[in-house]
Amino acid sequence: MAVSTCVALVACACGPDTAKEDTDAKPPQPSASTGAEEPPATPSVSARTEKPSAEPTGDQPAPRTKEGAIQRYVQYLHALGREDIDTVCEVAGPAAKKAQDQGFGPCASTYAAVFQMISPAQKEALKTATVDPQRIAVRTPDKIEMPVEAVRASATFSESDLGSYTLEYLKNDWYITD
């Protein structure tokens, strides 16, 4: 239950604009031939990890479809499993902002606590989780409900440890808003 509460609260602390600015300012990753240091074996909140992007390339909007929302939510689930704070806070930005406005900390610090509450087996399961399209609810073309029962993973998740989410199409992409 604590993880679900923290996830919900953290999900509200990061806005999509802030996370986008951070990613735009990052220098390119050095190649292996430059003798760059390898990242630590255990991810940390400050570690920047390369991730597969479900974000639109260039100025193209993300698909405003059920499939586009599922793809974005899967991106969030995988990032949660990898402890990829940048992606988690970017996708969950609007919900994280709401939580912060209610007195919870910023997205990055709140999710740092959430990462500690997710078991290693659950983190591994989240890295490859999928979503059953038959179990989600399209409320409007811009609003989709993702119940925890829609998550397909090798570990079991309940409302108290992962929770259900609402995704809304805002600023040409899907974001967790509740």
Give the pLDDT confidence score for residue 146 in this predicted structure. Answer: 97
Structural domain count, the chain: 1
- Paired strand residues for 167: 144, 176
Q: Is there a domain that residue 109 lies in?
A: yes
**What CA–CA distance (Å, rounded) separates 170 from 173?**
6
Q: Is there a domain that residue 39 lies in?
A: no
For residue 100, the tally of other CB atoms under 10 A from its CB is: 20
Q: Is there a domain that residue 154 lies in?
A: yes
Give the pLDDT confidence score for residue 114 in this predicted structure. Answer: 87
pLDDT in tens, 77-97: 999 999 999 999 999 999 999
Is residue 136 exposed (0-12), middle (13-18) or buried (19+ Cβ within 10 Å)?
buried
Q: Is there a domain that residue 30 lies in?
A: no
Residue 111 pLDDT class (50, 70, 90 cuts): confident
- Domain residue limits at 16: 2-23+49-176
Q: Is there a domain that residue 157 lies in?
A: yes
Tokens matching residue 60? 């193209």
Q: 72 pLDDT exceeds 70?
A: yes
Give the pLDDT confidence score for residue 59 in this predicted structure. Answer: 64
If you search the block for the tokens 């995704």, which residue do you land on?
167
Q: Is there a domain that residue 161 lies in?
A: yes
Q: Is there a domain that residue 43 lies in?
A: no
